[in-house]
Amino acid sequence: MNGEAKESARPGYYQVDLERYGIHAELTATLRCGVHRYTFPQAADRMLVVNLSVSNERVRDWAIEADGTHAFQGFQRASETVFFYAKTNQPIAELETVESGRRGLPVVRLEPAEGPLELQIGLSFVSIENARANLDREIGGKDFDTVRAEADETWEQLLSKVRVTGGSERERMLFYSSLYRSFLWPALRSDGNGAFTDVRRTVDQADFSYYTNPSLWDTYRNKLVLLGLLSPEVTVDVIRSLIEKGEKTGFIPTFFHGDHAAPFIVGSYLRGLRGFDVEKAYSLLYRNATIEGGPRPFINEYMERGYISTPPVERPRVETKAKAGVTKTLEYAYDDYSLALLANELGNDTDHTLLMGRAGNYKNMFDPSTGLMRGRLEDGSWVEPFDPQFPYYEYMYREANAWQSSFFAPHDTAGLIALHGGAEAFERKLDELFSIPWNPQHIARNISSFIGQYCHGNQPDHGYPYLYYWVNKQEKTQALLDRLLRDFYGIGEHGLALCGMDDTGEMSAWYVFNAIGIYPYSPADPEYIVTVPIFDKVELELSAGVVFTIEREHSGRRIEKLTWNGTPLDRPIIPHAWLASGGRLVITTTDN
């Protein structure tokens, strides 16, 4: 094993000792291909198990067949059909199916041979022929070590766009691990020749790379902003993929909840990304916002009432399914605000006025008697009884309780504070949020890892620590951020786990932004809140030769002064244009 651990991983490479069999396994990859290398303890009696009945979802069908003496091919069909073409560097004796389960288990038996077995696998969501073409195009005559070196270089080019100085070894490990995890999704679906299987399950062709839907709930909050910063070309192709689906279905798709393609696409455009049809994107997003049957359930009720009602349910439980009306109303209001920004950018004053008016609908969920967002019945009365600490999956709230849902208005935080009666009352409410202990009898999957009622193990309230900025208490925000960065990441037996689900990179991107000292509090707006980084110096190279530098002076955690290229700033918010043009942000801190 050349002194390596029994199991290790790095971007583009994984290796492990299969101790039961005495086999050393190594994996590397290209965009559309995987390469395996297996070192067996003996030259004879070697085989590969190709278990096509197993996936992370139910497998409906599969097939496999030999193609000569050094290849095999087939497919696996679950929610999508994945075709494969695999080549070996050593001859295949036979491909047989042994008894196991309903359909048996494919086994590739190899002829006796010396040296490691290398297996090269091309994938396609179109055809076996395209899988083979992808393999020829991306691997060709390369061996395992060459492909591994190229994968290493690809990741090095991406990750080195952010260079950090200072911090502990643990903090640097967590930072670059989080940065890596932020770029594992969405997944590429088109072949090297541009072919892909579209949303209608027909084969189409494009002059861009076609991607799966991003996990918009909740990666729109930060991870998709990070994707746009460091991989703008990929981000544009992701947006073009969403538009392509929208043209064929009539709506831009969403993911799980909300209509957060709006802040993603709008925020990307306002940060300067081009290369997609923004007028077409706007037209489709406007359909999302105004027509029933798309990604916004109950949109007619939302437009008519200004909120989505909660149906009366006697003794609702955690798993009770309803409309998640409070969460939908709050999120639709933010999505409306996002789309209003694009309407304004495109000179559509009528739509801008309409949508900005709807962006205030979050206020319709505010109950002054509790100071929290609360479900309303169709007649406008409040849901009774009301336990603000009780979590729901889809009753009044989506995967949250009232505390975790009541402070979401990133487009109008000043308006939210006004609902509470001013800054002092709002600060007291925030203090309650972060101090009222979580009831251990309230058990709900995905809702975990708390500071008071605040839940960092799930995403809906990840923007709440910054709310202290609006009451001039940055130091309270920083105390929370420092605790979260220190205690909620790199946990578990091996110091590698997160405190909850990563949601395809959202939790990781949260760490990345806060570690370097900026955060997209309102992702549709092209600006960032400035916080205190954990590193002494951060260099962001968003384009070749253009570097945006963040420097921390002193080790305190309260911001005393901010300067941009030597000019003092009077507020802790910076525009995206500064990141894009390069320059020097100095954060001077104090312990006072």
pLDDT more than 70, % of the chain:
99
Decide if 417 contacts 471 (C-beta within 8 A): yes
Distance CA 549, CA 134 (A): 40
Highest CATH level, class, for 7-159: mainly beta
* Higher pLDDT, residue 235 or 56: 235
Enumerate the domain spans of the chain. 7-159
Instruction: State yes or no: cis peptide before 253, omega within 30 of 0.
Output: no
> Does the pLDDT at position 2 exceed 80?
no
The whole-chain average pLDDT of the chain stands at: 96
Strand 546-553 versus strand 583-590 pairing type: parallel
* Reported confidence tier of residue 1, pLDDT bands at 50, 70, 90: very low
- pLDDT tens-digit readout, 457-515: 999 999 999 999 999 999 999 999 999 999 999 999 888 899 999 999 999 999 999 99
pLDDT at res. 4: 56
Residue 256: predicted pLDDT:
87
Q: Is 332 left (phi over 0), alpha (psi -120 to 50) or beta?
A: alpha
pLDDT confidence band for 539 (50 / 70 / 90) = very high
Contacts of 76 (CB under 8 A, 6+ apart): 52, 55, 59, 61, 62, 82, 84
Share of the chain above pLDDT 90, in %: 95
- The answer to whether 27 and 15 have CB atoms below 8 angstroms apart is yes
Other C-beta atoms within 10 Å of 84: how many?
Answer: 23
Average pLDDT on 561-588 reads 97
| pLDDT classification of 446: cutoffs 50, 70, 90 | confident
- Higher-confidence residue of 557 and 1: namely 557
Residues 6+ apart with CB under 8 A from 488: 449, 456, 498, 499
pLDDT tens digits for range 352-378: 999 999 999 999 999 999 999 999 999
Dihedral class, residue 420 (left if φ above 0, else alpha if ψ from -120 to 50, else beta) = alpha
Q: Which residues contact 153 (CB under 8 A, 6 or more apart)?
A: none
How does DSSP classify residue 421? T
Burial class (CB in 10 A: 0-12, 13-18, 19+), 140: exposed
Range list of β-strands (E), 495-582: 497-498, 518-519, 527-530, 537-543, 546-553, 558-564, 567-568, 573-575
pLDDT in tens, 99-136: 888 889 999 999 999 999 999 999 999 999 999 999 99
Confidence of residue 90 (pLDDT cuts 50, 70, 90): very high
Residue 36, pLDDT > 50, answer: yes
Geometric angle at alpha carbon 391, from 386 and 394, rounded to 5°: 95
Rounded Cα gap, residues 486 and 375, in angstroms: 35
Mean pLDDT calculated for residue range 411-434: 98
Residue 3 has pLDDT above 50, yes or no: no
Could you tell me the pLDDT band of residue 380, with boundaries at 50, 70 and 90?
Answer: very high
